[in-house]
């Protein structure tokens, strides 16, 4: 009974502990060599980020990035180095040479192509926190709030805007034209508003960088960061609300349709009962609506598999890896 959900909760707890407290368990901190910067190019914000973003002073245990919110601002630096978006924004700004970036990019793309947004549903500690909030809500018998399609639409545009805005800003501030002040203020722009930056450190009993009143931009981003941190708690009423804004997930989502791990549906077995849609944590209707193509992993689908678990038709929904069935309804 509910075997998938039970397994998923267990996996989430394990990875939550690993990603949040791994550095406490294996205190072997990896020292990243400073990126090579061509002579004559200012090192921009490289040395100033401590002022904007809290860091433990330590790097991660392993020099690996993950396509999930394995945040570098976790207490003691965390087990993994950072999330996929942090990787890009940091290294674009530093104008890290492709030679250094390539192995990491290959690693990240391989992870994304292997599992798609399975990372969000099963590994991400932020996701686990939001699921915990949903669990609390059900325990206290509050009702779920559904976003209207217009809001969903708006958030869709917002998260994709955030992905590309972050990339563009990261590249731009890597060049000296914008000036040191802007560079300092806009460095890791997405991290500055990401709820993990404010949320993760307190879970390791350290303070994040709550405020930054250097200039008007940093003050604005501080307030925006608090606002987003508040939005994160909306997940109590709207399951996994931050996932609907999260640019990291949106970025990983670009790989979701092509990933080797797929959710597939047999249209003939489907009775259109709508159970999958009601079960879906993110209110997705792709599984319900699909009538022709077998693969139903939408860019937003996190492969949490509640639909597969609840589907009353045997074999209608299947989780496949490289075409081989792993699970079926």
Partner 1 sequence: MDELQYFREIVTTDRRERELAGYHGRVVGCYCNFVPEELLLACGAVPVRLCSGDAAAERAAEAILPRDLCAVAKSAAGRVQRGDGLCGRADLLILPTPCDAKKKLGPVLGQFKPVHVLDLPPRKESPSAQAFWKTQIRDLVPVIERLTGTPLTRAALRQAMDLINRRHRVFRRFLALRAADPPRITGQDALFVTQASFTDDVGRWTTQLEALCERLEQSPPPAPAVRPVRLLLTGAPLIWPNHKLIELAEADGARVVIDEFCSGTQRVYQPVELRETSLPALLDAVAEKCLLPTTCPCFVDGTDRLNRVQELATTHRVDGVVYHCLRLCALFEMEAQAMQQTLRARGLPMLSVSTDFSAEDRGQLQTRVEAFVEMLRG
Q: Does 147 bind partner 1 (CB under 8 A)?
A: no
Q: How far is the CB of 273 from partner 1 (least distance, A)?
A: 4
Question: What SS3 class is residue 17?
Answer: helix
* Sole residue written with tokens 């590249």: 171
Q: Does 135 bind partner 1 (CB under 8 A)?
A: no
- Contact with partner 1 (CB under 8 A) among 36, 153, 291, 325: 291
Of 94, 102, 97, 66, nearest to 81 (Cα)?
66
16 vs 63, 98, 123, 128, 326, CA distance in Å? 18, 31, 7, 7, 24
Question: Residue 48 or residue 266: which is nearer to partner 1 going by CB?
Answer: 266
Q: How far is the CB of 70 from partner 1 (least distance, A)?
A: 29
Q: Does 179 bind partner 1 (CB under 8 A)?
A: no
Q: Does 269 bind partner 1 (CB under 8 A)?
A: yes
Question: What SS3 class is residue 10?
Answer: helix
Element containing residue 114 per DSSP (H, E): helix 98-115
Q: How far is the CB of 139 from partner 1 (least distance, A)?
A: 11
Q: Does 7 bind partner 1 (CB under 8 A)?
A: no
Question: Residue 97 or residue 144: which is nearer to partner 1 going by CB?
Answer: 144
Where residue 65 falls (left for φ over 0; alpha for ψ -120 to 50; beta otherwise) is beta
103 — phi, psi (to 5°)? -55, -40
In whole angstroms, what is the distance from residue 254 CA to residue 113 CA? 10
Q: Does 153 bind partner 1 (CB under 8 A)?
A: no
Of 134, 326, 165, nearest to 239 (Cα)?
134
Residues that bind partner 1 (rule: CB under 8 A) add up to a total of 22
| Selected range binding partner 1 among 98-106, 175-183, 254-262, 263-271, rule: CB under 8 A | 263-271
Of 87, 253, 73, nearest to 155 (Cα)?
253
| Selected range binding partner 1 among 7-15, 52-60, 165-173, 262-270, rule: CB under 8 A | 262-270
With beta carbons less than 8 A apart as the criterion, state whether 214 and 187 touch.
no
Q: Does 181 bind partner 1 (CB under 8 A)?
A: no
Q: How far is the CB of 9 from partner 1 (least distance, A)?
A: 14
Q: Does 160 bind partner 1 (CB under 8 A)?
A: no
Q: Does 62 bind partner 1 (CB under 8 A)?
A: no
Residues 294-313 that bind partner 1 (CB under 8 A): 306, 310, 312
With beta carbons less than 8 A apart as the criterion, state whether 296 and 264 touch.
yes
Q: How far is the CB of 272 from partner 1 (least distance, A)?
A: 5
- Contact with partner 1 (CB under 8 A) among 36, 43, 153, 278: 278
Question: What SS3 class is residue 158?
Answer: helix
Residues near partner 1 (CB under 8 A) are: 138, 141-144, 149, 267-275, 278-279, 289, 291, 306, 310, 312
């Amino acid at each position: 009974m509910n075997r998938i959900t039970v397994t998923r909760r267990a996996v989430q707890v394990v990875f939550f502990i690993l990603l949040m407290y791994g550095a406490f368990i294996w205190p072997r901190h990896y020292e990243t060599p400073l990126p090579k910067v061509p002579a004559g190019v200012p090192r921009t914000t490289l040395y100033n980020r401590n002022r904007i973003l809290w860091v433990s002073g330590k790097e991660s245990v392993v020099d690996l990035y993950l396509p999930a919110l394995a945040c570098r601002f976790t207490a003691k630096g965390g087990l993994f180095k950072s999330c996929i978006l942090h990787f890009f924004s940091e290294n674009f700004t530093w104008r890290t040479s492709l030679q250094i970036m390539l192995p990491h990019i290959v690693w990240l793309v391989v992870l994304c192509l292997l599992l798609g947004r399975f990372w969000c549903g099963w590994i991400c500690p932020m996701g686990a926190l939001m699921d915990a909030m949903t669990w609390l809500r059900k325990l206290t018998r509050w009702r779920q709030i559904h976003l209207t399609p217009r809001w969903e639409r708006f958030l869709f545009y917002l998260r994709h805007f955030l992905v590309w805005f972050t990339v563009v800003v990261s590249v731009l501030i890597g060049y000296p034209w914008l000036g040191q002040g802007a560079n300092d203020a806009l460095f890791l722009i997405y991290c500055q508003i990401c709820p993990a930056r404010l949320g993760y450190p307190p879970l390791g009993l350290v303070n994040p960088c709550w405020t930054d009143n250097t200039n008007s931009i940093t003050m604005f981003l501080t307030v925006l960061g608090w606002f987003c941190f508040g939005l994160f708690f909306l997940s109590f009423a709207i399951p996994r609300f931050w996932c609907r804004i999260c640019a990291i997930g949106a970025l990983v989502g670009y790989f979701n349709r092509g990933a080797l791990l797929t959710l597939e549906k047999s249209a003939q077995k489907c009775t259109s009962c709508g159970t999958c849609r009601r079960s879906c944590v993110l209110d997705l209707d792709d599984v319900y609506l699909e009538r022709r193509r077998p693969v139903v992993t939408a860019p937003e689908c996190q492969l949490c598999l509640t639909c597969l678990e609840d589907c009353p038709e045997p074999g209608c929904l299947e989780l496949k890896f490289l075409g081989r069935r792993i699970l079926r309804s």
